[in-house]
Chains A and B, each alone.
Chain A
Amino acid sequence: MRPTDTLDPDFYHRVVDCQWACPAHTDVPEYIRMIAQGRYTDAYLLNRASNVFPSILGRVCDRPCEPACRRRRVEDKPVAICRLKRVTADLSDDVRPLLPPIPLEKNGKRIACIGAGCASLTVANDLLPLGYEVVVYEQLDRTGGLMRTNIPAFRLPQTVLDNELNTIIDMGVDLRLDQRVDSLATLLEESYDAVFIGTGAPRGKNLEIPGRYESDRIHIGIDWLESVAFEHTKKIGEQVLIIGVGNTAMDCCRTSLRLGGKQVKVMARKPRGYFKASEWELDDAEEEQVEIVVNHSPREFVINDGQLVGMQFDVFEYHVDDEGKLQQELIGEEFFPCDDVILAIGQETAFPWIERDIGLDFDQWDQPVVDRTTYQSTRAGVFFGGDAAFGPENIIWAVEHGHQAAISIHKHCLNEAIDDRLPFGMNLVSTKMSIHEWSFSNDYEGANRRQMRHVDLKERFNQLNIEVELGFSAEQTTIEVERCLNCDIQTVFTTDLCIECDACIDVCPVRCLTITENTDEPTLRAALTVPAQNPDQPLYVSATLPQTGRVMVKDENICVHCSLCAERCPTGAWDMRKSTLLIPYAADEETATWQHKTA
């Protein structure tokens, strides 16, 4: 293999599994260390730089970081990254005075954002400090979009939502509530320099089976949640069936329990393991005694005298065939009585308000054609982000879309090529303080993941908006931060200094180092001290070693960054250096342009 190019920011970035997996590339290990040091406000600000809504995401993020966490490969459970994010929000001081100042003198560019959800507000957050005027149109009388209407208050309190959204609104957003945009063509006639569309995926999918329109007790999940959020719906029948087993279904069943539902069943078409809901959302629902019924596919709504009395289901059995595909076999039918049915089988975008003759192309599925890098549509100056761009994803994706769209909008307004973007950068600084002393806690904490504390099962149903999760206690936080393996403190190898004494190889607790003859990757992977069996994790291969001409190989897979290799190295060939990923935002593009002009 060729020597690894560690100057490519991607190499060390990949080692930081959580940051690599996060769409917004949040610097997780660094904010966890800040929490450990009691620097809650700094930790919040570091979060905010990449994910903008730490307080919201600390509660309801889909956490792509946690399945990726290295701790999961060392033991079973990942670091509670999301919970720790909430800790930063819970304990942070007011950060408003610490945010970039908004220039009094504007740059003369006006941007329209449609929808006041997380994508649009991220665009506003990135562009307002550069002197832009940002107008946000919202069809409802309040901000937040689906975060407000579809996530129940017992998971995400209104005050938390308001606090973070208003931080951005108060930067000087020209907010136009209750102003629905009915025609993009009309809006484009106004003097906006760019338009950003962040209207989400507001249409819940329907289930067209017999009896669908014969009762008013059959609800579309996201519409029903919105109606609950706006206090139009205040109760539900005792027996409720939820169709679908995604995260919206979990919100629907738990909300039902708080509005009078006694027997709430979630009806799943497939077996466990094929559910769309996140593991922890399933856990939380089952803790509240929601029953999840598997292998039942809806057949018809049963109506008696104009009244919904229940639903008939096909019952299936599943097995995995030789090709690994799931095969179903019909084995019978079953009737479930109910008073209400909530359909939570997905949602989609809706653009009846965008004219199809304005140079903005839609694809065969009637989705706008949007560039994956620039987020620009086929009409220059019109950008998409959030669920509106590529269909339903998660808040953290919408935030990243917003950051990238903001860069594009900025470059568009400067008449620069929007696909000529700044690359990621990297800083690499030694953490050595003295002999065997590092500026991070390198000892391995063997404790298991801390459990989130919940409000008592009876008490939580007293009111609709009692937040169930209590957050981490100080004791829980103290232990959980130490579980982080500091994957951003990289083991950096200097080939010329190595005397091949094997000290690092001998001391490594996970045996991830080997000095061997260089060869091709599959042979090398098999020849290591412990064979490198995880192809998703890269090998580090040094240049040719000075004494024997062999190479140092490191399997990055389960290195716990304990620094013992560096401590046992007599020549300092190994060093523990903190890699910091430098992520370009709109403000960095502004600086780069300015530097280019003055150079």
Chain B
Amino acid sequence: MSFIKKPRINHPGLDTNAVGLTIQDYEGAMSTLCAGCGHDSVSSAIVQAYYELAIEPHRVAKLSGIGCSSKTPTYFLRPAHGFNSVHGRMPSIATGASAANRDLHYIGISGDGDSLSIGLGQFCHAIRRNVDMFYVIENNGVYGLTKGQFSASADVGSPARKGGGTNEIPPIDPVLTAINFGCSFVARGFSGDKTTLVPLIKAAILHRGFALLDVISPCVTFNDHEGSTKSYLHTREFEQTAVYADFVPIRDEITASVDTHVTPVTLHDGSQIHLRTVDPDYDPFDRDSVVAYLREHQNKGQIVTGLLFVDETAPDMLTLSSTTQTPLVDLSFDTLNPGAAALKTLQKQWR
């Protein structure tokens, strides 16, 4: 970690976005992660995405659990709300927060340990409920904060950096898991490739419902060695992009594309994401074929990236439960607490 603070210097060429903020207004504190950590690149991509979407930072709530990944909300969107929960319990907090105030943008930052080990149950149920949030798994295949033990996403045959151990336990693939639990937006990116990561993040932020983004985010200290399947070099070699996503903000004119493989998906605010499938047979709207495609490439050792599955029609948790359109904080006390008589009337319904 650096001893100096990142100086705030106004570059004369620095632009402002639609709400008059510079990208610096979306930054956070100096990272204390290892130099070269993929997570810092993810934070940087998140900063860029919120800046480009011109979402005011104070309209965002950052939620996280425990782990290297879960430290990172400190490093972006300084003015946003934040909640650092118990290990693996971030989805519950996000669910509650979303129920209380539907107007905020929720971003959950998690890692392969936080989501796939201790918090797997929470993760699955948040997907089932289709909580309206953007959920990032910064996936590096190791428990970095406890010095590099294999995590639940480590591939079979992965060698440990030290000691000669090899992982023999099959991994949990967050993407397949999410699709199986009915997730309405599933994507995978790579921290070392921001040109594809940033549009994925923007689409995930504006998707209504649970948007999962699994990011291969190399652990430069414990899992960037030869033989690792989550290193910078390995990911670059075996990355197989199934779908390129081009984000088209609502402000921009949407022009007809000549490319026949382009499928426009309208997000709930009216923005569009243009999906360009690399394989003409790939159908990002057909759950079964997506699962088959992912399995096939997984067996070949390839890492499929892009916006892999999307369903903009699935109702989110708040729609399903018909909760109030007004954030609870904006309701009057009388409305929020109608009194003992109203409670009695309510209870009578079930007698």
A contacts, CB < 8 Å to B: 73-74, 436-437, 442-444, 446, 499-503, 505-507, 509-511, 530-531, 533, 547-548, 558, 560, 562, 564, 567-571
Contact B14 A511 (CB under 8 A): yes
Q: State the CA gap A570–B224 with chains docked (Å).
A: 11
Contact B6 A509 (CB under 8 A): yes
Q: State the CA gap A68–B40 with chains docked (Å).
A: 35
Q: What residues on A are CB-neighbors of B191 within 8 Å? A: 501-502
Contact A547 B40 (CB under 8 A): no
Q: What residues on A are CB-neighbors of B4 within 8 Å? A: 442-444, 562, 564
Q: What residues on B are CB-neighbors of A547 within 8 Å? A: 232-233, 236
Contact A444 B7 (CB under 8 A): yes
The interface-forming segment of B30-38, B277-285, B331-339 is: B30-38
Contact B192 A500 (CB under 8 A): yes
Q: Is B43 among interface residues, defined by CB-CB distance under 8 A?
A: yes
Contact B192 A501 (CB under 8 A): yes
Do A533 and B2 form a contact, CB below 8 Å, given A506-B40, A568-B35? no
Beyond the given pairs A442-B4, A507-B30, 6 more chain A to chain B contacts, judged by CB atoms under 8 angstroms and listed by A's residue number, are A436-B2, A443-B5, A501-B192, A502-B44, A506-B41, A510-B9
Q: State the CA gap A531–B12 with chains docked (Å).
A: 10
Contact B220 A568 (CB under 8 A): no
Please, what's the 1-or-0 string for B1-45, where 1 marks a CB less than 8 Å from any CB in chain A? Answer: 111111111011110000000010000001100111110110110
B contacts, CB < 8 Å to A: 1-9, 11-14, 23, 30-31, 34-38, 40-41, 43-44, 191-192, 194, 218, 220-221, 224, 232-233, 236
Which of B1, B11, B37, B40 is most buried by chain A, counting CB atoms within 10 A of its CB?
Answer: B11
Contact A530 B41 (CB under 8 A): no
Within the complex, the shortest CB–CB distance from B196 to chain A, in Å, comes to 13
Q: What residues on A are CB-neighbors of B14 within 8 Å? A: 511, 530
Q: State the CA gap A500–B192 with chains docked (Å).
A: 7
Q: State the CA gap A533–B232 with chains docked (Å).
A: 32
Q: What residues on A are CB-neighbors of B13 within 8 Å? A: 530-531, 533
Q: What residues on A are CB-neighbors of B2 within 8 Å? A: 436, 564, 567-568
Q: State the CA gap A510–B22 with chains docked (Å).
A: 12
Which of these, A436, A501, A560, A567, contacts B9 with CB under 8 Å? A560
Which of these, A74, A444, A503, contacts B36 with CB under 8 Å? A503
Contact B12 A73 (CB under 8 A): yes
Which of A506, A511, A562 is most buried by chain B, counting CB atoms within 10 A of its CB?
Answer: A506
Do A507 and B224 form a contact, CB below 8 Å, given A436-B3, A500-B232, A558-B11? no
Q: What residues on A are CB-neighbors of B9 within 8 Å? A: 74, 444, 509-510, 558, 560
Which of these, B7, B220, B221, contacts A560 with CB under 8 Å? B7
Q: State the CA gap A441–B198 with chains docked (Å).
A: 35
Within the complex, the shortest CB–CB distance from A300 to chain B, in Å, comes to 48
Q: State the CA gap A511–B221 with chains docked (Å).
A: 25
Contact B218 A501 (CB under 8 A): yes
Q: What residues on A are CB-neighbors of B38 within 8 Å? A: 501
**How many inter-chain residue pairs (CB < 8 Å) link A and B?**
98
A-B contact pairs, 5 of them (CB 8 A): A437-B3, A501-B41, A547-B232, A562-B6, A570-B35
Do A436 and B1 form a contact, CB below 8 Å, given A501-B218, A568-B40? yes
Contact B224 A499 (CB under 8 A): yes
Q: What residues on A are CB-neighbors of B194 within 8 Å? A: 502
Contact A511 B36 (CB under 8 A): no
Contact B220 A562 (CB under 8 A): no
Which of B4, B5, B31, B220 is most buried by chain A, counting CB atoms within 10 A of its CB?
Answer: B4
Contact A571 B232 (CB under 8 A): no
Which of A444, A503, A547, A571 is most buried by chain B, counting CB atoms within 10 A of its CB?
Answer: A503
Contact A502 B41 (CB under 8 A): yes
Contact A501 B236 (CB under 8 A): no
Q: What residues on A are CB-neighbors of B6 within 8 Å? A: 507, 509, 562, 564
Contact A509 B7 (CB under 8 A): yes
Which of A436, A564, A568 is most buried by chain B, counting CB atoms within 10 A of its CB?
Answer: A568
Q: What residues on A are CB-neighbors of B221 within 8 Å? A: 570
Query: Can you list the 7 inter-chain pairs with the closest CB atoms, starting with the nearest?
Result: A570-B36, A444-B7, A506-B44, A443-B4, A501-B36, A502-B41, A570-B35
Q: In the complex, which residue of chain A has the Cβ closest to the Cβ of B4? A: A443
Contact A502 B7 (CB under 8 A): no
Contact A501 B232 (CB under 8 A): yes
Q: In the complex, which residue of chain A has the Cβ closest to the Cβ of B41? A: A502
Q: What residues on A are CB-neighbors of B35 within 8 Å? A: 503, 567-570
Q: What residues on A are CB-neighbors of B41 within 8 Å? A: 501-503, 506
Within the complex, the shortest CB–CB distance from A516 to chain B, in Å, comes to 9
Q: State the CA gap A73–B14 with chains docked (Å).
A: 13
Within the complex, the shortest CB–CB distance from A422 to chain B, in Å, comes to 39
Q: State the CA gap A47–B295 with chains docked (Å).
A: 70
Within the complex, the shortest CB–CB distance from A5 to chain B, in Å, comes to 26
Q: What residues on A are CB-neighbors of B220 within 8 Å? A: 499, 501, 570
Contact B11 A511 (CB under 8 A): yes
Q: What residues on B are CB-neighbors of A442 within 8 Å? A: 4
Q: State the CA gap A444–B10 with chains docked (Å).
A: 13
Q: State the CA gap A567–B6 with chains docked (Å).
A: 11
Contact B11 A510 (CB under 8 A): yes
Q: State the CA gap A502–B23 with chains docked (Å).
A: 17
Do A506 and B43 form a contact, CB below 8 Å, given A558-B11, A560-B9, A568-B35? yes
Q: What residues on A are CB-neighbors of B23 within 8 Å? A: 511
Within the complex, the shortest CB–CB distance from B222 to chain A, in Å, comes to 12
Q: State the CA gap A202–B158 with chains docked (Å).
A: 83
Contact B34 A570 (CB under 8 A): yes
Q: In the complex, which residue of chain A has the Cβ closest to the Cβ of B11? A: A510
Q: What residues on A are CB-neighbors of B218 within 8 Å? A: 501
Q: State the CA gap A533–B41 with chains docked (Å).
A: 26
Contact A530 B11 (CB under 8 A): yes
Q: What residues on B are CB-neighbors of A510 within 8 Å? A: 9, 11
Q: What residues on B are CB-neighbors of A507 within 8 Å? A: 6, 30-31, 40
Which of A443, A502, A560, A567 is most buried by chain B, counting CB atoms within 10 A of its CB?
Answer: A502
Q: What residues on A are CB-neighbors of B30 within 8 Å? A: 507
Q: In the complex, which residue of chain A has the Cβ closest to the Cβ of B75? A: A506
Contact A503 B7 (CB under 8 A): no
Q: What residues on B are CB-neighbors of A511 within 8 Å? A: 11, 14, 23
Q: State the CA gap A507–B1 with chains docked (Å).
A: 12
Within the complex, the shortest CB–CB distance from A70 to chain B, in Å, comes to 11
Q: In the complex, which residue of chain A has the Cβ closest to the Cβ of B14? A: A530
Q: What residues on A are CB-neighbors of B44 within 8 Å? A: 502, 505-506
Q: What residues on B are CB-neighbors of A562 within 8 Å? A: 4, 6-7
Q: State the CA gap A510–B14 with chains docked (Å).
A: 9
Contact B37 A503 (CB under 8 A): yes
